[in-house]
Amino acid sequence: MAEKSYEEEHPTRAFGWAARDQSGVLSPFKFSRRSTGEKDVRFKVLYCGICHSDLHMAKNEWGTSMYPLVPGHEIVGEVTEVGSKVEKFKVGDKVGVGCMVGSCHSCDSCNSDLENYCPKMILTYSTKYHDGTTTYGGYSDSMVTDEHFVVRIPDNLPLDAAAPLLCAGITVYSPLRFFNLDKPGMHVGVVGLGGLGHVAVKFAKAMGVKVTVISTSPKKKQEALEHLGADSFLVSRDQDEMQAAMGTMDGVIDTVSAMHPILPLISLLKTQGKLVLVGAPEKPLELPVFPLIMGRKIVGGSCIGGMKETQEMIDFAAKNNITADIEVISMDYVNTAMERLLKTDVRYRFVIDIGNTMKI
Ligand code: NAP
Ligand code: ZN
Ligand code: ZN
């Protein structure tokens, strides 16, 4: 398809940065957005976080990417127009959109406020929307989204540092709640101190949970303990440290983005402890069965969260002053940021200053 047709697909011109192929390299991209429908909220994008999923998707590591691909699902901005039937938002409101922009609204999951598990869930980018056109994410100047998938950003949260809550935040908040790892006095391990991991530490601490970080990066120890509020820190390659912590945790939230062994993590669990995988490496992990059987242990997964819970998470964050620790970057730094993210060289989330640096 010639590039011109992307600009003519819908009535309103839009501008963003897109990956064109599996190299994952992003470059400027002119496209278009639909007119504001009855239930749509149109907003000017101000900030967008860079999730590791954006990197997996830009490089087609999960095999589902459609190019050109405009990533970005940690999106915040200011409402510029609302459709005639929009009830929750008005022009000028500060809003956010996370990983999904549509679902069927009639299946069991949708009826239980779990749109994130709807078989017809529409992702914020690289998925076909109800009208058959491809969705484009938040590395762009504007968004038009059904109000059901828009959340309100409370006034006391800074917009840039709140952006990562839309994916990283809900992805760790939801399993802490669902798997009952949110009770004061419990002991939870957080594996991987990246975008997801560092907000997991903050949410778990706010819930009154004792938190141990399990990391490959000894250099993150001091900051984890002194700044993020973790209670202890294990270097996953240090056999002695890992051995000493065996059987001490009620749960472990694994946010690791790459291949890694899970036996050492299962060993950290108490009897009936729960290992929850949220990191999504491109290849299957090896599941050791005997250690599970011998301790009646549980291995589960979790995918973002429903819209009701996402708003609840944002409100909980606002009440407890939880935001991400971010490095704000300009749009044209995005490819360097992606390279650094792959090397875990970020404290702890890149956020693109779309409002000030996106130039046609
Ligand atoms: P990130 O910022 O890159 O953090 C991942 C962390 O994993 C790194 O900081 C690093 O922590 C650790 N790590 C990286 N490579 C490793 C390796 N080879 N072995 C062991 N540890 C390693 O990524 P993120 O944005 O938090 O995302 C993490 C994963 O979650 C990605 O796969 C992403 O696609 C997925 N995700 C899933 C959902 C969901 O709904 N389930 C939602 C969002 C993202 P240390 O330096 O501390 O070791
Ligand atoms: Zn994400
Ligand atoms: Zn559904």
Is residue 279 situated within a structural domain?
yes
28 and 162 inside one domain: yes
13 and 118 inside one domain: yes
**Which ligand is nearest the CA of 119, by number?**
3
- Quick check: CB of 285 below 6 Å from ligand 1? no
**Domain count within the chain:** 2
**Which ligand is nearest the CA of 279, by number?**
1
For 7, the token pair is 């600009």
Residues 303, 280: Cα–Cα separation, whole Å: 10
Is residue 308 situated within a structural domain?
no
Q: How far is CA 195 from the centre of its chain?
A: 8
156 and 7 inside one domain: yes
- Quick check: CB of 166 below 6 Å from ligand 1? no
8 and 85 inside one domain: yes
Kindly report the number of other CB atoms within 10 A of residue 97's CB atom: 28
Is residue 313 situated within a structural domain?
no
Is residue 20 situated within a structural domain?
yes
The per-residue pLDDT for range 246-260, each reduced to its tens digit, is 999 999 999 999 999
What is the arithmetic mean of pLDDT over 184-212?
Answer: 98
Residue 194: CATH number of its domain: 3.40.50.720
pLDDT, position 334: 98
- Quick check: CB of 342 below 6 Å from ligand 1? no
- Could you tell me the distance, in angstroms and rounded to a whole number, from the CA of residue 138 to the centre of ligand 2? 12
Residue 3 has pLDDT above 80, yes or no: no
SS3 172: helix
291 and 347 inside one domain: no
CA dihedral 339, 341, 347, 350 (to 10 degrees): 80
92 and 174 inside one domain: no
Q: What is this structure's pTM?
A: 0.97
- Could you tell me the distance, in angstroms and rounded to a whole number, from the CA of residue 98 to the centre of ligand 1? 18
> What angle, 0 to 180 degrees and rounded to 10, lies between the N-to-C axes of helices 307-319 and 195-206?
70
**Which ligand is nearest the CA of 148, by number?**
3
Is residue 319 situated within a structural domain?
no
194 and 157 inside one domain: no
Cα-based distances in Å from 1 to 4, 20, 68, 168, 227: 8, 12, 10, 34, 50
Task: Specify whether the backbone of 208 is left (phi greater than 0), alpha (psi in -120 to 50) or beta.
Answer: left
- Could you tell me the distance, in angstroms and rounded to a whole number, from the CA of residue 73 to the centre of ligand 2? 6
pLDDT, position 175: 98
- Could you tell me the distance, in angstroms and rounded to a whole number, from the CA of residue 243 to the centre of ligand 2? 32
Residues 73, 51: Cα–Cα separation, whole Å: 8
12 and 151 inside one domain: yes
277 and 229 inside one domain: yes
Is residue 125 situated within a structural domain?
yes
* Cβ atoms of 298 and 273 closer than 8 Å: yes
* Cβ atoms of 95 and 72 closer than 8 Å: no
- Quick check: CB of 199 below 6 Å from ligand 1? no
- Quick check: CB of 198 below 6 Å from ligand 1? no
Is residue 204 situated within a structural domain?
yes
Residue 4 has pLDDT above 70, yes or no: no
Residue 329: CATH number of its domain: 3.90.180.10
Residues in Cβ contact with 294 at an 8 Å cutoff, skipping those fewer than 6 apart = none
Residue 67 has pLDDT above 60, yes or no: yes
- Quick check: CB of 196 below 6 Å from ligand 1? yes
Q: How far is CA 221 from the centre of its chain?
A: 23
Ligand 1, atom 17, lies closest to the CA of 258
Is residue 307 situated within a structural domain?
no
- Could you tell me the distance, in angstroms and rounded to a whole number, from the CA of residue 51 to the centre of ligand 2? 5
**Beta-strand relationship, 269-277 and 298-301:** parallel
Which residue, of 301, 334, 349, is where some domain finishes? 301
Cα-based distances in Å from 248 to 141, 187, 243, 244: 47, 7, 10, 9
Mutate to test the pocket of ligand 1, among 48, 343, 344, 347 (most ligand atoms within 8 A of CB): 344
Q: Which of 7-11, 205-209, 231-235, 325-329 has the lowest mean pLDDT?
A: 7-11
158 and 196 inside one domain: no
Residue 205, domain extent: 168-301
74 and 88 inside one domain: yes
Query: Binning pLDDT at 50, 70 and 90, where does residue 359 land?
Result: confident
* Cβ atoms of 15 and 116 closer than 8 Å: no
Residue 299 has pLDDT above 60, yes or no: yes
The per-residue pLDDT for range 307-321, each reduced to its tens digit, is 999 999 999 999 999
- Quick check: CB of 324 below 6 Å from ligand 1? no
CB burial of residue 92 (10 Å; 0-12, 13-18, 19+):
exposed
SS3 29: strand
- Looking at every residue in the chain, the average pLDDT score rounds to 97
The per-residue pLDDT for range 122-181, each reduced to its tens digit, is 999 999 999 999 999 999 999 999 999 999 999 999 999 999 999 999 999 999 999 999
127 and 114 inside one domain: yes
DSSP H or E run through 349: strand 349-353
Residues 148, 87: Cα–Cα separation, whole Å: 10
